[in-house]
Structure 1
Amino acid sequence: MPKKRKDGRYQKKVTLSAGKQKIVYGKTIAELNQAALAVLEEDRQGLIVDDKTLVGEWAKIWLEKYKANLRPNTKAMYKNAYNTHIMGMIGDMPLREVRPVHVREVMAGVSEKSESLQHKVLLTMQQIFNTARQNGLMIKDPTEGIKITPHTKPDKAKYLTKDQTKKLLAACDDPKALAFVALCLYCGLRREEALGLQWGDIEPDSLTVNRAVAFIGNQPDPSQELKTKAAHRTIPVPAPLREILGKTPRRGLYVITETDGGAMTKIAFRRLWERVERRVDFPVHPHMLRHTYSTTLYHAGVDLRTAQYLLGHSSIQMTAEIYTHLERGDGLKAAGRIERYFLEEQPSKTS
């Protein structure tokens, strides 16, 4: 039975599913009953009743418990997305009070930023709130249905033409730069995989990707972890790459080294790559070389499953998207040939 308090409010006890009792209050009997129903509904849906955990408090737990085993660069990406773009907007809000409108406010704050950054911010919020829901701190994920703001921009070249590839290789006057470019072009290595390659990883006709050198600040990450398990692979070494590697000076364990023979620092690699960029008359970045290798596999008729292995993709869907894009391009190139065929097939007019 409801009990009236000295302050004029009503109160009553509600028994939760675990046997614990919760006291609810209301200015009127109707308000009291509504409060009781709300508590029972939270309990029914598995929520921790009366939880007051803040977004910022859970974000810290999420990062420590769910992201502890990530590579330092990946963990830093999540931390930067939260600290820079999320914390100031909703960090002090109780988790259970966050609604889609609050998530949209965060995304509006980065809407003018790159699509890549928007994806990182949204992904960070999705993971924070999804894990909070799994732990009974929220009923619904407020990021559901939220999307980034796409930017209208001209399509950038994703891979090099054959002519550009020849020019790039000819432009590399530094043996280290030439070895890096060749490893990415002829074996499809990611930047960190090429920088992590050691001479002991190379056989006469193949090389094995055993480690990756990413950066923490300016220094190489000592963990040398590969991006995924699929990144560990053995790749055939074509003749042009064998020739280039044969002329590359061996100054230490690594194929591409600092002047002292150690692993590259971030600044040293940036200088190396900026020199490469200055010597060609077209835009180029390291990942374009890997994309170029993907196109080589496609045009060489390498099947999808083998291409997935050689590229070190953890999902065949990633490889399929590349192949589908290239197939679409080939289809458009065929338009002229198709049109000529139909013109030739038309019956000639007689007077």
Structure 2
Amino acid sequence: MTDDELGLVDKYLEHVRVQKRLADRTVELYSLDLQKLCANAAHADVSLLKVQNTHIRRWVAQMHSGGRSGRGIALILSGWRGFYTWLGREGLVPSNPVQDVRAPKAAKPLPKALSVDDAVQLAEFSDEEADPWLEARDNAIVELLYGCGLRVGELVGLDAKASTAAKGWIDAQAGEAHVLGKGGKRRTVPVGRKALEALQRWLEARALAQGAGEPALFIVPQGRRLSAKTVWARLKRRGLQAGVATPVHPHMLRHSFASHVLQSSSDLRAVQELLGHANIATTQVYTRLDFQHLAKAYDAAHPRAHRLKK
């Protein structure tokens, strides 16, 4: 790397510090990114002013294979892109070699699901010191979320009785939940015995409330329809009380429902229908969860699974 090229880097950093008034920490990060660019160019025996699109793509591939995250690579590319944009405005390069280069997409994190033991522990938890009315309601909420795989919006949208205006309702006689999902798509989900028993206890408690005339199935003590925000707060609190190590939220119970059904049945298409996914590719993430579960069981049980310790 020539002194002239290093001078260009220094001049650019001075530009972003003075002209663009970037924070000192940001300038420091830009400097580190450009040091990496200089090192790559030197290793490839190419001048900074002669770097091509193919060089950038090769260096991105090397960073990715070296374990750097997609987000980290994107930040580095942003620094490089700004440098070459400035060089272009100075008339020093004919085009920006970073312009159409994008970082690899970061892998979507797996949805977090409870273990079967934790899910059952949460569902069977009973707070003897709590208000019996709230206890009956919250228990029914847990049983329906975990037992039916409902979205929290679908849950709070349920009415106590079926009607033409209802977004959703539960037919206790048939053991079915009728819900209105994303995109206005209706679906019917079976409701298990435990959920029906919890629902019956809640309906008996609900009938004594001042909001018994409210159409919503789940209500607050003041009689209004329960909000999704309140469900989140109550579940988090209940998870802590039940001794579940992982913070619990409504979608975690939906993930747990899907994962546990798939572990038992291996019927991906059925899980897709139960969840109301329009595309089976959305449901396929649970096959990764299922494999993760099997891999953990293998590591724990198989005598040849453990790696040798160095």
Normalised by the length of structure 2, the TM-score is 0.51
Q: What aligned pairs does 1:1-351 form with structure 2 within 5 A after superposition? A: 145-146=102-103, 158-173=112-127, 174-199=135-160, 200=162, 201-203=169-171, 204=173, 205-210=175-180, 226-230=181-185, 232-248=186-202, 249-250=205-206, 251=212, 252-265=214-227, 268-281=230-243, 282-283=245-246, 284-301=248-265, 303-331=267-295, 333-334=297-298, 339=303
Percent identical among aligned pairs is: 25
Q: State the structure with bigger RCO (CA 8 A, min sep 6), 1 or 2.
A: 2
Alpha-carbon spacing, 1:266–1:339, altered in 2? closer, same or farther (3 Å) = closer
3-state SS of paired residue (2:122): helix
**Secondary structure in 1 aligned to 2:182?**
coil
Deviations 1:187-215 (A, max 9, x none): 001111111112231112111113xxxxx
Residue pair 2:145, 2:253 contacting (<8 A) in 1 also: yes
Letter paired with 2:241: R
Deviation, structure 1 residue 330: 1.4
Deviations 1:270-302, CA, capped at 9 Å, x for gaps:
543343144132222221111110122112315
Q: For the aligned residues, what is the CA RMSD?
A: 3.4
Cα offset, 1:229, TM superposition: 4.4
Q: Is the 8 A contact 1:195 1:256 kept in 2?
A: yes
Encode CA deviations 1:254-273: one digit per residue, 9 max, x unaligned.
Answer: 22112233222356445433
Aligned position for 1:10: none
Q: How much has 1:228 moved relative to structure 2?
A: 2.8
Distance verdict in 2 for CA 1:160–1:336, change over 3 Å: closer
Contact 2:111–2:255 under 8 Å retained in 1: no
Distance in 1 between residues matched to 2:292 and 2:232, nearest whole Å: 35
Q: What is the identity, as a one-letter code, of the residue corresponding to 2:262?
A: Y
What runs of 5+ residues in structure 1 fail to find an aligned partner? 1-114, 119-141, 211-225, 342-351
Give unpaired runs (5+ residues) of structure 2.
Answer: 1-70, 75-98, 128-134, 163-168, 207-211, 306-310
- Are the counterparts in 2 of residues 207 and 236 from structure 1 also a CA contact under 8 Å? yes
Tell me if the contact between 1:159 and 1:291 (Cα under 8 Å) persists in the aligned partners: yes
Could you say which structure has the higher helix fraction? 2
